[in-house]
Chains A and B, each alone.
Chain A
Amino acid sequence: MPDQQIVIHVNGSPISVPAGCTLSAALLMASAPCRISTTGQPRTALCGMGICLECRAIVNGVPHTRTCQTVCQEGMRVETQS
């Protein structure tokens, strides 16, 4: 495991993740859904490769960001998108 850990905020709560970790992995670690579907279901990453868009979340205020293609940066804020 890479030793370096960084802190990001998932739905307001801080969580420590390994540097280089993707945001969708961080959301899974925090047991937070990426988004709430149009009929209200919680969803998490599916394809892991930028195709399915199930991993969209609000990242630093920007909605519809694909978290599986985004690498965590120190202090990043990610919120479940509904």
Chain B
Amino acid sequence: MPGFDLIIVGAGIVGCACALEAARAGLRVVIVERGVVGGGTTAAGMGHVVVMDDSPAQLALTAYSRSLWLTMAPELPAGVEYESRGTLWIAADDEEMAEVFSKQTTYAQAGIASQVLDPRELAEAEPYLRSGLAGALLVPDDGVLYPPVAAEYFLSEARRLGVVFLSDHEVVRCGKGRVQFANGTSIEAERILLASGASIDLLPSLPIQKRKGHLLITDRYPGVVSHQLVELGYLKSAHKLTADSVAFNIQPRLTGQLLIGSSRQYGDESREINHAILRSMLERAIEYMPCLKGLSGIRVWTGHRAATADKLPLIGPTADPTLFLAMGFEGLGITNAPGAAVLAIDALLGRASVIDATPYLPSRIRQEAVHA
């Protein structure tokens, strides 16, 4: 093996974005993956590029990352299926409508365009939603994309700049400048960036929990849904850190297919479909959009989000000076991949970042947790 400056572990969307960013910074990079590119949580996710405002730090990272997606959008290959669909945050009642207005204020302060829709405008924008909804907040610049191909795009750009990719290479140990594979071989570099998604086998002490989600995809029904639709009740349910929850979340794909979500469950690391959760998730969706009932569902799958206690990712150095992290992206890793990549490579090279990187530093969590 030639000398490398950086070994990236994991070719999900985050690892691939980091590889490209590192290559652009002139580093000699190898990226290693136990399966295929984008085959982890990246393959299981929804691909909603969305600005979120649970916390100021979350808002900063999602807004920054979305701006990077918007810049890239014209160059993305067709297979990435990037579309500027916009998000509709749907309010079912007056309480949620109040949320719409406060969200609009928050977004305006961050320079994020949005527009309040009254019930009539909402019905015009999405005629298949049930009647009697209170309104919605339209965030027009949010997008949707197909994550595995986006990951592969980052990787192929990185490879054009000389990055080496090793698929089917499972890492069994990493740290102290060395990465060891299941086949017994190992490679060394000055720096290692761990981007193994929800899998923390390599650093079991990491404060990351798996949060399982279910999704269903339908056959092609072009024109039924135009925006990514998310219920605002989501804010009440999805971010509780303990209980299982479901929310109405539906995404129109470029193919005309509809991706229906979403569910969140802790303590279930299996990939099996949980029929009780699936049922309540789909009942919730049908409640908001009755016509979904009759649409042909062709596949159901599950995936695991990498959740941290404060819902923010872990980006930056660890106690092992050779080891850096880019993990813990929960339900926002697709959105945040480009921004996180910049922050991670900034941290690696000691560069200053465009946004304040401290909220995402691994050291913010109990010190012993990030010992390699």
Instruction: Please determine if A and B sit in direct contact within the complex, based on CB atoms under 8 angstroms apart.
Output: yes
Instruction: Give the B-binding residues of A (Cβ under 8 A).
Output: 38, 62-64
| B205 sits at the interface (CB 8 A) | no
Report A-chain residues with C-beta under 8 Å of the C-beta of B102.
none
Report A-chain residues with C-beta under 8 Å of the C-beta of B294.
62
Main secondary structure of the interface of B (DSSP, over half): mixed
The 7 sampled A-B contact pairs (Cβ below 8 Å) are A38-B255, A62-B294, A63-B219, A63-B221, A63-B296, A64-B219, A64-B296
Of A38, A62, A64, most buried by chain B (CB within 10 Å of CB) is A64
Instruction: Give min CB distance, A45 to chain B, whole Å.
Output: 17
Report B-chain residues with C-beta under 8 Å of the C-beta of A62.
294
Chain B's closest residue to A56 (CB) is B219
Instruction: Give the A-binding residues of B (Cβ under 8 A).
Output: 219, 221, 255, 294, 296
The CA-CA distance from A63 to B295 in the complex, in Å, is 9
Report B-chain residues with C-beta under 8 Å of the C-beta of A63.
219, 221, 296
The CA-CA distance from A38 to B219 in the complex, in Å, is 12
The CA-CA distance from A62 to B293 in the complex, in Å, is 12
**How many A-B contacts at CB < 8 Å in the complex?**
7
Instruction: Give min CB distance, B216 to chain A, whole Å.
Output: 15
The CA-CA distance from A59 to B219 in the complex, in Å, is 16
The CA-CA distance from A63 to B291 in the complex, in Å, is 13
The CA-CA distance from A62 to B221 in the complex, in Å, is 11
The CA-CA distance from A62 to B296 in the complex, in Å, is 10
The CA-CA distance from A66 to B221 in the complex, in Å, is 16
Instruction: Give min CB distance, B148 to chain A, whole Å.
Output: 18
Report A-chain residues with C-beta under 8 Å of the C-beta of B219.
63-64
The CA-CA distance from A68 to B331 in the complex, in Å, is 41
The CA-CA distance from A63 to B221 in the complex, in Å, is 9
The CA-CA distance from A38 to B222 in the complex, in Å, is 12
Instruction: Give min CB distance, B39 to chain A, whole Å.
Output: 24
Chain A's closest residue to B294 (CB) is A62
Instruction: Give min CB distance, A20 to chain B, whole Å.
Output: 26
Chain A's closest residue to B221 (CB) is A63
Chain A's closest residue to B296 (CB) is A64
Q: Nearest 7 CB-CB pairs, A to B?
A: A64-B296, A64-B219, A63-B221, A62-B294, A38-B255, A63-B219, A63-B296
Instruction: Give min CB distance, B149 to chain A, whole Å.
Output: 16
Report B-chain residues with C-beta under 8 Å of the C-beta of A64.
219, 296
Report B-chain residues with C-beta under 8 Å of the C-beta of A38.
255
Report A-chain residues with C-beta under 8 Å of the C-beta of B221.
63
Instruction: Give min CB distance, B21 to chain A, whole Å.
Output: 34
Of A38, A62, A63, most buried by chain B (CB within 10 Å of CB) is A63
Report A-chain residues with C-beta under 8 Å of the C-beta of B296.
63-64
The CA-CA distance from A63 to B294 in the complex, in Å, is 10
Chain A's closest residue to B219 (CB) is A64
Report A-chain residues with C-beta under 8 Å of the C-beta of B255.
38
Instruction: Give min CB distance, B221 to chain A, whole Å.
Output: 7
The CA-CA distance from A62 to B255 in the complex, in Å, is 19
Instruction: Give min CB distance, A60 to chain B, whole Å.
Output: 12
Of B255, B294, B296, most buried by chain A (CB within 10 Å of CB) is B296
Instruction: Give min CB distance, B200 to chain A, whole Å.
Output: 39
Instruction: Give min CB distance, B237 to chain A, whole Å.
Output: 32
Instruction: Give min CB distance, B298 to chain A, whole Å.
Output: 9
The CA-CA distance from A59 to B294 in the complex, in Å, is 13
Instruction: Give min CB distance, A82 to chain B, whole Å.
Output: 10
The CA-CA distance from A64 to B296 in the complex, in Å, is 7
The CA-CA distance from A64 to B255 in the complex, in Å, is 15
Chain A's closest residue to B255 (CB) is A38
Chain B's closest residue to A65 (CB) is B296
The CA-CA distance from A38 to B294 in the complex, in Å, is 22
Chain B's closest residue to A81 (CB) is B220
The CA-CA distance from A4 to B39 in the complex, in Å, is 55
The CA-CA distance from A64 to B219 in the complex, in Å, is 8
The CA-CA distance from A62 to B219 in the complex, in Å, is 12
The CA-CA distance from A62 to B291 in the complex, in Å, is 12
The CA-CA distance from A64 to B294 in the complex, in Å, is 11
The CA-CA distance from A42 to B110 in the complex, in Å, is 50
